[in-house]
Amino acid sequence: MKDERLRKFLKDVLVSMPLDWLNLTTHRLDVYDESKAKTQFIDQFSELYNSKSIHNESLQKLPTAFDYIRLGHPLSCILEWAIATKYNVAADRVIAFSSQTIPIMAILRKNALEGKATQIIYDSEMPAHFNQAIIASVYTYQCAFKKLDFEAKIPEFDGTTIVFSNKNELDDFDRRSNVDFSINYQAGLGSILLVVGAENESYISEIQHVRRRETIAMTPANTLIVLEDMLDKRSSKPVQNDADKFKVLTEIKEITHTEVLPIVASSGLSIQYAIMMGLIDDAIEQYMDKPIKIIVPPNCYGGTNDQARRVAEILDNVEVVDLPVDSGSDMVQSIDSVLNEIADIDAVPFIIAEIPTNPRVEVPDLIKLKEVLSKPRKTKNGSPAIDPVFILDQTFCPNIHFLGERSAVVLS
């Protein structure tokens, strides 16, 4: 980093920052104003930069940045602000992700809805988990891939051009005039996206919403590594705690009485999104062109409802079906009725439910719930209907084996 004033300021911030910035992944209600959550932290942080005064007390008084790690946190906001300041652009044009490839998926999503073409220019190899065939067949996202030395001329393209680079210096972006988005990534750390062209500012809120609903911001620990590398060019390694991960996986297996290897993700919504897209992938393979119905109670968590509707928006064969649970409606009876209707049209039913820690969610008769989910159904032609998959979000009750020992309706 060549700007000495910015460099010194960031060094002082990292020395004086509150420990909560590194260790706390949810919001402090005492310094949280929801109506200003996306702007207030950076506004006041910029005032400290302009005042040239920094100490622990002033940082401690700053309002909460966003409200969750998946939306953003103090260190990710500072990283984005620092890069934006370096390139003299608005801070919201820099977005940091824990994922390496989700920023590409966010751009592809918007372009798919708008019928806009996309080309991805990359320098080494695309990450192994970025399966181009699945992206086309399951998500219906279309794009052209071109491997180029980044010193080579980028071909003109009628659509969006993304430069995707595996770099040691995550703050070193390609900003050529015919580049729309520049994304730098490192395995284990995540990625940082820069919106290059001013004409692409309409993408910003869409990209941030994908981060909100499908993944998280770069973690505080890894963000700190990137900030330190920007200042001192240290060759730090991403934070890995395999012992803690092994403990989590072991406890999940013990609680759910399963020998299946559990899968963990960065947040509840991100694992739920992975489950949904995995089920849709399986349904496409197993049931060909049959319609897919995602059944969601309207009083379920807002993120779940929004996420399901965003999936349905992008896929023609997927539809959200509301599950009546309010105004005297009984969840078990509603599930029975909805599943009968879906069986009649020979569709694929996926139910998303929430553990009753949400005060608006009723506690159903679990035995009757199990019976109605296990009930054989027929299509209008008399053939066996497709069995439902019951997806349970028990984020706030994770140590309970839902429906008891060896239940036929358990999802962990």
* Residue 370, domain extent: 244-393
Domain count, the chain: 2
Compute the average pLDDT of residues 391-397. Answer: 73
The pLDDT of residue 410 is: 39
| Residue 204 is assigned to a structural domain of this protein | yes
Closest CA to 308 of 337, 267, 342, 280: 280
Tell me, yes or no, whether 174 and 292 share the same domain. no
In a domain, 170, yes or no: yes
Residues 141 and 184 in one domain: yes
Residues 225 and 252 in one domain: no
> Can you tell me the mean pLDDT for 299-325?
90
Does 258 share its domain with 215? no
402 located within any domain = no
Write the CATH number for 248.
Answer: 3.40.640.10
CB 26 within 8 A of CB 62: no
Mean pLDDT of 123-137: 89
For residues 177 and 79, membership in a common domain is answered with yes
Domain boundary among 232, 264, 287: 232
In a domain, 398, yes or no: no
Same domain, 331 and 220: no
CATH of the domain at 18: 3.40.640
Sheet of 389-393, strands arranged across: 318-322, 292-296, 348-354, 389-393
User: Do 38 and 111 share a domain, yes or no?
Assistant: yes
pLDDT > 90: percent of the chain: 57
- Do 300 and 191 sit in the same domain of this protein? no
**What length is written for the chain?**
412
Round to whole Å and give the CA distance between 401 and 394. 10
In terms of domains, do 187 and 291 share one?
no
Do 225 and 295 belong to one domain? no
Q: How far apart are CA 146 and CA 131, in angstroms?
A: 15
Tell me the average pLDDT across 255-265: 85
Question: Are 49 and 187 part of one and the same domain?
Answer: yes
Same domain, 180 and 277: no
Instruction: Please state, rounded to an integer, the average pLDDT across all residues of the chain.
Output: 88
Q: Would you say residue 145 lies in a domain?
A: yes
Buried-exposed string 86-104: b where 16+ CB fall within 10 A, e elsewhere? beebebbbbbbbbbbbbbb
Residue 180 pLDDT: 96
Give the pLDDT mean for 221-242: 79
Q: Indicate the pTM of the whole model.
A: 0.90
Helix (H) or strand (E) holding 366: helix 366-374
Q: What is the mean pLDDT of residues 333-342?
A: 95
Cβ contact 6:82 at 8 Å = yes
